[in-house]
């Protein structure tokens, strides 16, 4: 076999091996987006598709980035819906909803309520308990966060969305990082701020994401 031909064949084989190893996912497999949660590094990153090579804090953050990237044909987010009673309220933005005889942990989509140790943290939890605990709610799920919780919109028996009601009452922030295009939450937060409702009665309320970092 001529030397030049053998050298070209070797380069071709090397390129194939490198391409295959770059596309090979970590253990655990990939989801429908070509991404997965990497438990070793604690993030959610993509090996295939339009966001290959990028890392995110959660699947919900990836979905937001995917929507912003694909402007010509915005994708339809995978939404699953179920109804069930709220069996536990952990705080102002997290609850357990009974589904198929099991408690499903729901993290309210697009908002961030004060932590328990913050001002109005207990009031936010109490608000959720009064409006949702023991009641049949409808949950629209949008994937999982890095903790394995379902990200969802929760609708109360009267049709109101609990996520929006918390922001309306000044008991939660519009979570800009994970819901940058939500004009409804943006408007509700502005109105609550103007009216100085609850957490906005303080001159400089500390956002919970800042509080957690501290």
Cα pseudo-dihedral 157, 163, 167, 168, rounded to 10: -30
Residue 101 appears among annotated catalytic residues: no
Q: Find the catalytic residue in 115, 165, 169, 189.
A: 115
What pLDDT is stored for residue 32 in this prediction? 59
The span from the CA of 18 to the CA of 21, in Å, is 5
Q: Find the catalytic residue in 66, 107, 165, 168.
A: 107
Residue 88 appears among annotated catalytic residues: no
Q: Find the catalytic residue in 61, 66, 149, 164.
A: 149
Please answer whether residues 91 and 115 qualify as being in contact, where contact means their C-beta atoms are separated by less than 8 angstroms: yes
What pLDDT is stored for residue 24 in this prediction? 41
What pLDDT is stored for residue 18 in this prediction? 45
The span from the CA of 38 to the CA of 46, in Å, is 10
Find the distance separating the first CA and the last CA of the chain, reported in whole Å: 66
What pLDDT is stored for residue 214 in this prediction? 80
Mean pLDDT by 10 residues, the chain (214 residues): 53 49 48 70 70 75 59 46 97 97 96 95 98 97 92 97 98 94 96 97 93 87
Pick the CATH number of 80-213 from 2.40.50.90, 3.30.9.10, 1.25.40.10, 3.40.120.10: 2.40.50.90
| SS3 track for the chain | CCHHHHHHHHHHHHHHHHHHHHHCCCCCCCCCCCEEEECCCCEEEECCCCCCCCEECCHHHHHHHHHHHCCCCCCCCCCEEEEEEEEEEEECCEEEEEECCEEEEEEECCEECCCCCCCCHHHHHHHHHHHHECCEEEEEEEEECCCCCEEEEEECCCCCEHHHHHHHCCCCEECCCCCCCCHHHHHHHHHHHHHCCHHHHCCCCCCHHHHHHC
Per-domain residue ranges for the chain? 3-69, 80-213
What pLDDT is stored for residue 70 in this prediction? 41
What pLDDT is stored for residue 6 in this prediction? 53
Residue 149 appears among annotated catalytic residues: yes
């Amino acid at each position: 076999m001529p030397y030049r031909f053998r050298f070209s064949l070797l380069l071709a084989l090397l390129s194939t091996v490198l391409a295959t190893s770059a596309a090979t996912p970590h253990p655990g497999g990939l989801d429908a987006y070509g991404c997965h949660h990497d438990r070793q590094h604690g993030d959610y990153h993509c090996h295939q598709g339009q966001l290959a090579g990028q890392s995110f804090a959660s699947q919900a953050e990836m979905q937001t980035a995917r929507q912003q990237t694909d402007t010509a044909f915005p994708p339809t987010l995978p939404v699953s819906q179920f109804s069930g009673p709220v069996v536990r309220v952990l705080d102002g933005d997290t609850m357990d909803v009974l589904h198929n005889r099991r408690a499903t942990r729901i993290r309210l989509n697009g908002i961030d309520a004060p932590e328990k140790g913050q001002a109005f943290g207990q009031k936010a939890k109490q608000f959720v308990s009064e409006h949702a605990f023991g009641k049949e709610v409808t949950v629209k799920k949008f994937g999982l966060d890095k903790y394995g919780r379902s990200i969802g919109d929760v609708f109360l028996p009267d049709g109101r969305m609990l996520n929006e009601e918390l922001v309306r009452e000044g008991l939660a922030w519009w979570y800009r990082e994970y819901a940058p295009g939500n004009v409804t939450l943006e408007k509700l937060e502005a109105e609550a701020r103007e009216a100085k409702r609850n957490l906005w009665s303080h001159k400089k309320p500390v956002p919970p994401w800042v509080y957690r970092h501290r």
